[in-house]
Chains A and B, each alone.
Chain A
Amino acid sequence: MEFGLTSDQKMMQESLGRTLERVCPLERVRKAADGAAPDVLKAIAELGVTGILVPEEFGGLGLRLLDAALAAEMLGRHVAPVPFIASSVMAPLALLGAGSQAQKERYLPNLATGELIAGVALSEHAAGARAKAGVAAKNGKLSGKALFVLDFAGADIFVVADAFGGLHIVDAEAKGLERTALPTIDATRAIGELNFDAVDAEPLSENPQAALDRMVDAGRVMLAADTLGAGGRMIEKAVDYAKERKQFGRVIGSFQAVKHLCAEMIAELEPCRALIWYAAYAFDEFPDQARRMAAHAKAHTSEVGTFVARTATEVHGGMGFTDLLGLHYWFKRIGFDRQALGGPEKVRHDAAVAQGWVGN
């Protein structure tokens, strides 16, 4: 029994952290457009992060969801404006779970290197359909609308879930596909809307329903890990600021009113780490717990993340509220993570269903 990280995992996290510190400082984040910074993507691809879940035979690192969660934590920590959750986690899982050998050979190697970017459109399946969204598949063609498509900007292909839980690959340039970006509070990541008018699609037909559930679970664990990283960094920033900023002739970090806020933040966030590690591990090892634990990790870390985001901002006083300091990039990243793939109430409902407490 060992509930902790291996030295390889710690090294991977540290080296990703060092790289991001170098290539993705706040000034770079500010300049990123549409949640994309190609140079940052290239740097993390060189470390293998884009191929973290892709098996070695297809040119990836062949690691597990816990390793992906550790990478997601670092990306959140540095509010990295790169595709990851859809392109490097959910799309490879779709191909691995429901793709044919030929499809795996065709897409996985390029996803692994980061040369191919895949958006993922399954929001209706994960969080319910809005504004009559939903995609119908007929004779190999897709029609309808998909909202809140993850890793949207710069995507070369999209993995699309239809209303019956079937999975399809669609070329971004396909005829009849209309793409519309949806600006969010979080400028570091891109989402969008896809409108399909009899668009050619390639089905992923080997057990797509199971693959779809796995994609949602994995995506939720990644969003939780992203919040863990962003929240952890916000606490560090708050503590550092409170140790420097002076008012009434002393550093504000010596006031209990301020200290206790910092203590509450870390006390709430640290147990999320263990919950996320467990959820990621269960994804690979305990399939019967995977859905429930992913949901708990996502919902609970979202609640804690919201608390940390506002509290760390308050500790910074007026400065925290300005664009000058840039703290809001972390605040907004956490806000995005909370809503994507279902808000906390919806996700908790899924956890209730998964353990038979209530019908679907």
Chain B
Amino acid sequence: MDLSYGPEYQAFRDEVRAFTAKYADRAPRGALGGDMRDWQLLLIEHGYAARTIPKAYGGFGAAPDVLKSRIIAEEFLAAGLPMGMSGQGISMLVPTLLEVGSEEQKRRYIAPTLRGEIIWCQGYSEPGAGSDLAALTTRAIEDGDDFVINGQKIWTSTAAQADMMFCLVRTEPDAPKHEGISYLIFPMTTPGIEVRPLVTMTGRAEFNEVFFTDVRVPKTDVVAGRGQGWMVANATLKHERGMLGDPNQAGTRLKAIVELMQTEDVDGRRLMDNPALRDRLLKLQARVHAMEFHGLRLLTAGLKGEDPGVARLIVKLMGCELNHQLAAFAIDALGELGMLYNNSPHIRNGGNWQWSYMFDLGLIIGGGTAQIQKNIISERGLGMPREPKPAKV
């Protein structure tokens, strides 16, 4: 155990800190500040975004160093500056292409994705294929040099803004469930694609439904080969689950709640002086620390090439739950202010707590529901038996 960073990393931290001080005014913050794409370019140039992606593909080209990545995240958090662009293109498609994409696909798509010039959406879930993703039925039938796609996707975030989609389709209808799937990439402007916004309980359309009618995609736009889609999807989901359980987000939320409880008062008394609220805050603080240090433990295991086993499998479940609990607590701490929404007078923090409380429930369900996560933890982590297949009638 050694939580000191040593001189090389201290120097790196100083460098990042100098950057955050110098360029703070160029950072996009809500409606204020600079443009997100300009910010992204600035970050890539300095190695604070796309850090380990090879220069040939538009990244910064640094050797992977998780400690440096962590220092960047810590310093940006401390300075209250946004990290670079995220989203499904950068977080999921880019790592997937780097892992299994062709050279041509890497050169064509990675750099513009990193620069924010191509926005991606993910076509995985279907109305009949959620937790049981491999049951998907959107079909792609071979026709000359193309596949012709028919079917429907759902829960497609950013589909309305996206330029491209990475999509799972069934190319081999007669193959076993997991073997007949291919991973295709294509522009959202391809004829036959219709996007319908899906309004959620938040009142906003964070997701969409996407309908395909005779959508033609060249066969060359398959990633990792025909029938390999399930393998590719698992590579992508691994990245998504890491993204969804991010402990930094919980730390940021906790910090905001502490500030809220120190500044907001009722009957002339700070919320922090209410012992019942304070006790709940402390419970959550312990959880945030526990997940933060748990992240350090996994980080160290990764550095040493050790498999942390079940410890790794719990992050999505616990991280999403914690974020949701933090939002729920903030609303309780706000009392009657907590029921306000949208642009109501008196609303705090732009209604973000209320939105998060609802939206985060979606994150607990999405990316593998909490129940699916518990299956994974118990089966792969604890070696418990799988649910027996129902008897055939």
- A interface residues, Cβ below 8 angstroms from B: 1-6, 66, 239, 242-243, 250-251, 253-256, 259-260, 262-264, 266-268, 270-275, 277-278, 281, 285, 293, 296-297, 299-300, 303, 345, 348-349, 351-352, 357-358
- Cα distance, A267 to B371, chains bound together (Å): 13
In order of increasing CB-CB distance, the 5 nearest A-B pairs are A274-B293, A300-B286, A271-B290, A3-B296, A263-B374
Asked if residues A262 and B378 are in contact (CB atoms below 8 Å), the reply is yes
Counting contact residues on chain B (CB < 8 A from A), the size range is 35 or more
Asked if residues B282 and A278 are in contact (CB atoms below 8 Å), the reply is no
Instruction: Give chain A residues whose Cβ lies under 8 Å from the Cβ of B293.
Output: 3, 271, 274-275, 277-278
B264 in the interface (beta carbon within 8 A): no
Instruction: Give chain A residues whose Cβ lies under 8 Å from the Cβ of B373.
Output: 263
Residues 257-289 (chain B) with a chain A CB within 8 angstroms: 258, 262, 272-273, 275, 278-279, 282-283, 285-287, 289
Instruction: Give chain B residues whose Cβ lies under 8 Å from the Cβ of A251.
Output: 385
Instruction: Give chain A residues whose Cβ lies under 8 Å from the Cβ of B318.
Output: 267-268, 271
Nearest Cβ on chain A to B375's Cβ, whole angstroms: 7
Instruction: Give chain A residues whose Cβ lies under 8 Å from the Cβ of B16.
Output: none
A256-B375 contact in complex given A266-B314, A293-B289, C-beta closer than 8 Å: yes
Partner of B384, one of A1, A253, A268, A277: A253
A275-B374 contact in complex given A259-B379, A348-B283, C-beta closer than 8 Å: no
B294 in the interface (beta carbon within 8 A): yes
- Cα distance, A201 to B373, chains bound together (Å): 58
Partner of A264, one of B272, B285, B291, B374: B374
Cβ-closest chain A residue relative to B280: A348
B381 in the interface (beta carbon within 8 A): yes
Partner of B283, one of A243, A260, A274, A303: A303
Asked if residues B283 and A300 are in contact (CB atoms below 8 Å), the reply is yes
- 6 residue pairs of the A-B complex, CB under 8 angstroms, read A1-B9, A3-B300, A4-B297, A239-B382, A299-B286, A348-B286
Q: A256-B371, A351-B285 are in contact. List 13 more A-B contacts (CB 8 A).
A: A1-B2, A1-B3, A4-B300, A254-B388, A259-B375, A259-B379, A263-B382, A267-B317, A268-B318, A270-B294, A271-B294, A277-B293, A349-B279
Asked if residues B1 and A4 are in contact (CB atoms below 8 Å), the reply is yes
B4 in the interface (beta carbon within 8 A): yes
- B interface residues, Cβ below 8 angstroms from A: 1-6, 9, 67, 70, 258, 262, 272-273, 275, 278-279, 282-283, 285-287, 289-291, 293-294, 296-297, 299-301, 303-304, 310-311, 314, 317-318, 371, 373-375, 377-379, 381-388
A259-B374 contact in complex given A3-B296, A254-B386, C-beta closer than 8 Å: yes
Asked if residues A296 and B285 are in contact (CB atoms below 8 Å), the reply is yes
Partner of B296, one of A243, A256, A274, A358: A274
Asked if residues A260 and B385 are in contact (CB atoms below 8 Å), the reply is no
Asked if residues B278 and A358 are in contact (CB atoms below 8 Å), the reply is yes
Asked if residues B314 and A267 are in contact (CB atoms below 8 Å), the reply is yes
A243-B385 contact in complex given A266-B377, A271-B290, A274-B296, C-beta closer than 8 Å: yes
Asked if residues A1 and B4 are in contact (CB atoms below 8 Å), the reply is yes
Asked if residues B387 and A272 are in contact (CB atoms below 8 Å), the reply is no
- Cα distance, A357 to B258, chains bound together (Å): 9
Cβ-closest chain B residue relative to A268: B318
Instruction: Give chain A residues whose Cβ lies under 8 Å from the Cβ of B297.
Output: 3-4, 273-274, 277
Cβ-closest chain B residue relative to A259: B378
Most buried by B among A1, A4, A273, A358: A1
Asked if residues B290 and A3 are in contact (CB atoms below 8 Å), the reply is no
Partner of A242, one of B4, B282, B300, B384: B384
Instruction: Give chain B residues whose Cβ lies under 8 Å from the Cβ of A271.
Output: 287, 290-291, 293-294, 314, 318
Asked if residues B3 and A281 are in contact (CB atoms below 8 Å), the reply is yes
Asked if residues B385 and A3 are in contact (CB atoms below 8 Å), the reply is no
A352-B381 contact in complex given A254-B388, A273-B297, A275-B293, C-beta closer than 8 Å: no
Asked if residues B294 and A4 are in contact (CB atoms below 8 Å), the reply is no
Instruction: Give chain A residues whose Cβ lies under 8 Å from the Cβ of B311.
Output: 270
Partner of B382, one of A266, A278, A357: A266
